[in-house]
Amino acid sequence: MGLFSKLLTAFRGATTEASEAILDTQAMRILEQEVRDAKKHLDEAKENLAKVIAEQMGVEREIKRLQKSIEEYEEHAVQALDKGENQLAEEIAEKIADWENELNAQQQVLENYNSSISTLKQHIKDTEHNLKSMEREINVVKTTESVQKANAATAPKLSGSTSALRKASDSLERIKKKQQQKADQTKAARELQQQESNSDLSEKLSKTGILQDKMSSQSVLERIKAKRQTKGDIRF
């Protein structure tokens, strides 16, 4: 019996684990379905609340009608008494009494409606809050699950391709260096060509006298002497 009991306990444990695994696999689907069911029940509750509010409005109208009738017939009773119609006044008073009893009953019904509506509104508000919180949690869980699946799918590939990525990175650096060298060579060739072109052009302009030679110290001194001589002549 001891061995059989242990086997039975092990079987139950395995069955429980299998059941939990199935539940975990379907947990999100079950939870989303429960949220949809809760939303459906919430919509039904709102519809029922609208019906209750409509009934409350009907009771309020009945109360106003009774109050108005009571006020009118009280005036009639006063007029009957003024005319000495005591019997008529008693009949009117009896009618007013019936209305006042009905008014009291309707006011009690209205109080019950007011209390029920207030409670229902609070329940609906709490349920809406809980549903929103549950939907946020579901979105977080689904996002976390997607990230974990992505990590599980990419982690082995990334770890297995570290050397390949390093080689590709090295190749990329070599390509960039070669491209930079070609760019530098092209730039240098253009600068040399530009210098040669400018030099040839300057030489041609100098030969034709269009481009004058650079100023020398001797020419500057001669210009200063000429200005000095001019000032001396003006002075005389």
Q: What pLDDT does 73 receive?
A: 93
pLDDT class of 35 with cuts at 50, 70, 90: confident
Share of the chain above pLDDT 70, in %: 70
Q: Is the pLDDT of residue 93 over 80?
A: yes
- Please answer whether residues 90 and 77 qualify as being in contact, where contact means their C-beta atoms are separated by less than 8 angstroms: no
Task: Report the alpha-carbon distance of residue 84 to residue 142 in Å, rounded.
Answer: 86
Q: What pLDDT does 15 receive?
A: 58
Q: What pLDDT does 7 receive?
A: 45
pLDDT class of 71 with cuts at 50, 70, 90: very high
Poorest-pLDDT segment among 11-20, 143-152, 226-235: 11-20
- The token duo for 156 is 């082995």
Q: What pLDDT does 139 receive?
A: 87
Q: What pLDDT does 151 receive?
A: 79
pLDDT tens digits for 174-212?
A: 888 888 888 888 887 777 777 666 666 666 666 665 555
* pLDDT greater at residue 134 or residue 109: 109
Task: Report the alpha-carbon distance of residue 27 to residue 138 in Å, rounded.
Answer: 11
Q: What pLDDT does 187 receive?
A: 82
Q: What pLDDT does 106 receive?
A: 95
pLDDT tens digits for 37-61?
A: 989 999 999 999 999 999 999 999 9
Residues in CB range of 56: below 8 A, 6 or more apart: 110, 113, 114, 117
Q: What pLDDT does 4 receive?
A: 47
Q: What pLDDT does 20 receive?
A: 63
Q: What pLDDT does 103 receive?
A: 94
- Please answer whether residues 75 and 93 qualify as being in contact, where contact means their C-beta atoms are separated by less than 8 angstroms: no
Own/partner long-range contacts of 151-156 (Cβ < 8 Å, ≥24 apart): none
Q: What pLDDT does 164 receive?
A: 63
pLDDT tens digits for 130-182?
A: 989 888 888 888 888 788 878 777 666 655 556 666 776 777 788 888 888 88
